[in-house]
Amino acid sequence: MRLEKREAPSAAMLWVAPLLAAATSVVLTGLLFTALRVNPFAALRLLYLAPLASANGVAELALKMTPLLLCALGIAIGVRANVWNIGAEGQFTMGAVAGGGIALALGPAGGWYVLPLVLAAGIAGGMAWAAIPAALRIGANAHEILTTLMLNYVAQDILSWLVHGPWRDPQGFNFPQSRTFADAATLPTLWGTRLTPIFFVAMLAAPCAWLLLQHTTAGYRLRVAGLAPAAARYAGFSARGTVWLSLLIAGGLAGLAGIAEVAGPIGQLMPTISPGYGYAAIIVAFLGRLEPFGIVVASALMALLYLGADGLQMHLQLPLSLTGTLQGMLLFLLLAADVLVANRVVWRRAPAAAHAPGSMR
């Protein structure tokens, strides 16, 4: 068996491949459950269907995918421009810190202007944090993979310092939590669930990202910078502009995700606000093939995997580590199946030339 590059990506495989991977994963997972003496139908149902069995479950899925979607869109735009932003986690945190800081500073003050101000501060916080690696890359040639990763840890320490110290709730027995935000600084929830309107903002961000990449000059420059840096330089596109634009967009989106989390379901600042959304979003971005619409699907899938893990523990007492293993397996299969989009499988012996050094075998 060998792979042969298709002349153009297969449109059919674009859809068939992930379904094939999902089906394979379901079969493998079922076999694994059987080996563990767990009813595979019950387990698969808990993993993939039970989370969506109620309106509240669907709302929880939408809530969970919101930060993944926002962060992943930013990461994808960056990668398309060859800017490697591993720092969504830190930008998320600083968005929460900046927006949360405004919410705390305004205190119980009410008014229509509070929430927009809080959200704007969150976006600005994420952008500001992303501006540091941008400036270091432009000004000092420091690689953003390292600076963004390091700044994630720094952001977490800053949040920790704030909630353990200056922003600690004075009525809170010195526990590390801020005051809960006033109603005016909290996002409204929809239909009696925990879902906030930011979900729809995130869903709207996807087509916007698509428009930006495909139909604007700026997007064109980003893509050229990613695909052919030398050509971009030759065409006179500013490398500075590319770095700044992609990192600021990514920072703003991640910052929005962060403030939406603390001004939404959490309602206050505390030491832990992200269970690693910024890192999970990197995999979502690639799983979505760096295409905004693919990322929407990928973030929903990732969110579903998180929710399914709850049920397996609650009802079957299966350890969380088992779900992690299954998640890894599914991701491998999805990634492997993507090969079929750009390649076709040829079931014959390779021509003699392919046995030359460097062949696949």
Of residues 256 through 285, those in contact with other proteins by CB under 8 A are 261, 264-268, 270-275, 279, 282-283
- C-beta closer to other proteins: residue 216 or 315: 315
Smallest gap from Cβ 171 to other proteins, in A, equals 10
CA distance 97 to 104: 10
Smallest gap from Cβ 315 to other proteins, in A, equals 5
Residues within window 286-315 making contact with other proteins, judged by CB under 8 A: 286-287, 306-307, 310-311, 313-315
CA distance 206 to 210: 6
Residue with the two structure tokens 């990514």: 250
x/- binding map, residues 34-73, to other proteins, per CB under 8 A? Answer: --xxxx-xx--xx--xx--xx-x---x--xx---------
- C-beta closer to other proteins: residue 27 or 208: 27
- C-beta closer to other proteins: residue 112 or 328: 328
Residues within window 134-193 making contact with other proteins, judged by CB under 8 A: 136, 140-143, 145-147, 149-151, 153-154, 157-158, 160-161, 164-165, 172-177, 180
# of chain residues touching other proteins (CB under 8 A): 99
Which has the closest alpha carbon to 258: 55, 66, 3, 26? Answer: 66
- C-beta closer to other proteins: residue 218 or 350: 350
CA distance 258 to 72: 13
Smallest gap from Cβ 37 to other proteins, in A, equals 6
Residue with the two structure tokens 């998640």: 327
Smallest gap from Cβ 307 to other proteins, in A, equals 8
- C-beta closer to other proteins: residue 218 or 316: 316
Smallest gap from Cβ 216 to other proteins, in A, equals 25
- C-beta closer to other proteins: residue 149 or 297: 149
- C-beta closer to other proteins: residue 242 or 327: 327
Length of the chain, in residues? 361
- C-beta closer to other proteins: residue 15 or 153: 153
x/- binding map, residues 75-114, to other proteins, per CB under 8 A? Answer: ----x-----------------------------------
The answer to whether residues 117 and 102 touch, using CB atoms and an 8 Å cutoff, is: yes
Residues within window 196-255 making contact with other proteins, judged by CB under 8 A: none
SS (H, E, C) the chain: CEEEECCCCCHHHHHHHHHHHHHHHHHHHHHHHHHCCCCHHHHHHHHHHHHHCCHHHHHHHHHHHHHHHHHHHHHHHHHHCCCCCCCHHHHHHHHHHHHHHHHHHHCCCCCCCHHHHHHHHHHHHHHHHHHHHHHHHHHHCCCHHHHHHHHHHHHHHHHHHHHHCCCCCCCCCCCCCCCCCCHHHCCCCCCCCCCCCHHHHHHHHHHHHHHHHHHCHHHHHHHHHHHCHHHHHHCCCCHHHHHHHHHHHHHHHHHHHHHHHHHHHHCCCCCCCCCCHHHHHHHHHHHCCCCHHHHHHHHHHHHHHHHHHHHHHHHHCCCHHHHHHHHHHHHHHHHHHCHHHHEEEECCCCCHHHHCCCCCC
x/- binding map, residues 4-23, to other proteins, per CB under 8 A? Answer: -x------------------
Smallest gap from Cβ 113 to other proteins, in A, equals 25
Smallest gap from Cβ 242 to other proteins, in A, equals 16
Smallest gap from Cβ 72 to other proteins, in A, equals 11
x/- binding map, residues 332-361, to other proteins, per CB under 8 A? Answer: x--xx-xx--xx---------xx-xxxxx-
